[in-house]
Amino acid sequence: MSNPTEQRFDSQIFWRILGLARPYRRIFLFAGVLAVVMAPVASLRPYLINVMVDEYIIKFNLDGLFLMSGLLAGLLVLEVIMRYGFIYSTNLLGQSVIRDLRTRLFKHLLSLRLRFFDQTPIGTMTTRTINDIEAINTVFSQGLITIIADVLSVVAVLFIMFYSSWQLTIICLATMPLMIIATYVFKEKVKAAYQIVRNQIAKMNAFLQERISGMRIVQIFNAEDRERAKFKVINREYTQANLDSILYYAVFFPVVDIISALALGLMVWWGARGVINEDITFGALVAFPIYLSMLFRPLRFMADKFNTLQMGLVAADRVFGLLDRRDHIEDEGSLQPDRFKGDLEFDNVSFAYDEINYVLNDISFKIGAGETLALVGSTGSGKSTIINVLSRFYEVQKGVIKIDDRPVKEYRLNALRERISVVLQDVFLFSGSLIENITLRDETISKEKVVAAAKMIGAHQFIMRMPDGYQFAVNERGSNMSTGQRQIISFIRALVFEPDILILDEATSSVDSETESVIQYAIEKLIDQRTSIIIAHRLSTIRHADYIGVMDQGKLIEFGTHEDLLKIEEGRYAELYEMQFDAVDATDLST
């Protein structure tokens, strides 16, 4: 017995799917009207054949036969036209709905917190956005309206059958309990098999997304055979899930053919006797095999369409579950200044990614407009997390972050991020032209502005040496560019947006010494005009910062100028400085 709660839930999803078609209610209504009209029109064809045999063929009435043949041909043309309109309109409706839904879902994904993407495999989101939404299309193109059309067709055929010969109709329906049982068993088995198939698709997509994105690591560590073995297992499970569903089809359709053949045999046996006894007309005996075909054909596919509808509901449940997520950064601020002055303050800020294990603990510091703060510390000490909470990619649990003496929550989210530029260590480039990657297709940024920023850091020459210059075609993730080149492009990207607060997260770590020296002057020139936070392992790049903060296990253990921190006995900064420059001296001696 099915769970009543599950039935109510499916009903809610069903009505929610229908709500998606509201902007296209005219198309929906048109398809519904065609479904209603097609049923009696289609069932009239065998009835006309019945009349032609009894009234014109047996009676040798050729004139009337030609007239009925023309009427039958016209009816067939009308049915073809309506069938075309029905198929086209239902598919148009489905494609229109999923086009809007796909756009809505992607817009929703853009607004989610980064924590959601940290916890959800990319392959799973791809499945939701492509495969599951495509399954919702079948609710309209192959599910709801076509089921209604099939039900109306069955009702119309049964009505005409009873009108033509109730005796033959009763005989034909004698096998209907067998059909109902076979259909129900098939529907339940295929439903369970389809659910497994959908889960296996999501599993395979997630696996492929991860391995293809991380192919460099797979090959570096010679893990091809292990990953191939894992994929073989996943692929085998996916194949088996599909074979299980195919098995039920392979059993069901022959069973339906046997049941329909049994009904036809009973009809011929009883009908022949009726014709001999003159209880049944010869025309009815000729027309009833056509009736049986029109009766059993929709019944044969109706179970499959119910499963299609059910799978559309399952897919919609997953998509709506994603749309219903409220993992948004609250954007209730009202301040939207054109520029920031640049005063920045962290007041007892604590943060945990999982709400339990804090990676920032009571962080407090303050820097003025135009000043530069350099953050140093070991990996995992919380340096990059400070960037994430400043830009409100994550919300802090305790404390307040202020810009220009106002909490960041009081600013509109787009206004906050618009005035902050970040250059990350791991640069992500999109497929497209070089200039599109710099401007991110912001039409307000001119090419002249891009060129000026490139010249500022000495990147213009290397760009012009590339094929097509600023129109150079960048591959996915910038795979056709060196790490250093990608880093420089990200630096230009930050400059062209003219930020009031600039953040450099290991921005020169992947740049060779010669290139670093070229852009170092541009960096220092740039930060003179902006509030800046620099995260770097190379202490040589941060000695001229106004303030230096030393992070350790989520705490700001030292804060001050370069000279002040060196004076601290057994200080962490002094220790790092001494270790790094001793290593540099040793390298110089060895060369």
- Residue 114 CA to residue 391 CA, distance in Å, equals 11
pLDDT over threshold 90, residue 401: yes
Where does CATH 3.40.50.300 sit in the chain? 341-419+500-591, 426-498
What tens digit of pLDDT does each residue of 304-324 get?
777 778 778 888 888 888 888
Higher-pLDDT residue of 275 and 553 is: 553
Mean residue pLDDT across the chain: 82
Q: Which two tokens stand for residue 448?
A: 């002249």
Of 202-216, 428-442, 491-505, the least confident: 202-216
**Cβ count near 331 (within 10 Å):** 14
Per-residue pLDDT at 400 exceeds 90: yes
What's the pTM value of the predicted model, to 2 decimals? 0.70
Q: 507: pLDDT confidence band, cut at 50, 70 and 90?
A: low
CATH for 426-498 is: 3.40.50.300
| Confidence label for 85 from pLDDT (cuts 50, 70 and 90) | very high
- Which residue do the tokens 């809610």 mark? 12
Report which of residues 118 and 163 the model is more confident about: 163
> For residues 358 and 488, which has the higher predicted lDDT (pLDDT)?
358
Share of the chain above pLDDT 70, in %: 91
In which band, very low, low, confident or very high, does the pLDDT at 538 lie, cut at 50, 70 and 90?
low
Grade residue 398 by pLDDT with cuts at 50, 70 and 90: very high
Yes or no: say if 134 and 201 are a contact pair by the CB < 8 Å rule: no
The CA distance from 556 to 533, in Å, is 14
Per-residue CA distances from 111 to 114, 323, 326, 328, 409 (Å): 9, 11, 10, 6, 16
Output the six-digit token pair for 159: 């009505």
Which one has a higher pLDDT value, 386 or 186? 386
Ranking 24-33, 344-353, 526-535 by mean pLDDT, the lowest is 526-535
Confidence of residue 402 (pLDDT cuts 50, 70, 90): very high
User: Is a pLDDT exceeding 70 seen at residue 587?
Assistant: no
pLDDT at 541: 67
For the cut 60, the answer to whether the pLDDT of residue 355 exceeds it is yes
Q: In the structure, what pLDDT confidence band is assigned to residue 591 with cuts at 50, 70 and 90? A: very low
Q: What are phi and psi of 218, to 5 degrees?
A: -55, -45
Selected from 3.30.300.30, 3.10.20.30, 3.40.50.970, 3.40.50.300, the CATH number assigned to the domain covering 341-419+500-591 reads 3.40.50.300
Residue 423 has pLDDT above 70, yes or no: yes
Q: Spell out a b/e string for 506-545, using b for 16 or more CB atoms within 10 Å of the CB, else e.
A: bbbbbbeeebbebbeebbeebbeebbbbbbbbebebbeeb
The answer, yes or no, to whether residue 359 has pLDDT greater than 80, is yes
pLDDT tens profile 235-254 = 998 898 888 878 888 888 88
At residue 100, the pLDDT reads: 92
- Whether the predicted pLDDT of 264 surpasses 50: yes
Architecture label for domain 14-323: Up-down Bundle (1.20)
Inter-residue contact 418 to 400 (CB < 8 Å) = no
pLDDT value of position 589: 34
Q: Where in the chain is the domain with CATH 1.20.1560.10?
A: 14-323
On the question of pLDDT at 8 being above 60, the answer is no
% of residues, the chain, pLDDT over 90: 11
* CA within 13 Å, CB half, 337: 15
Q: Say if residue 572's pLDDT is above 60.
A: yes
Higher-confidence residue of 62 and 469: namely 469
* pLDDT over 90 (residue 399): yes
Residue 5: pLDDT over 50: no
Predicted pLDDT at 517: 65
Residue 118 has pLDDT above 90, yes or no: no
Q: What is the pLDDT of residue 174?
A: 83
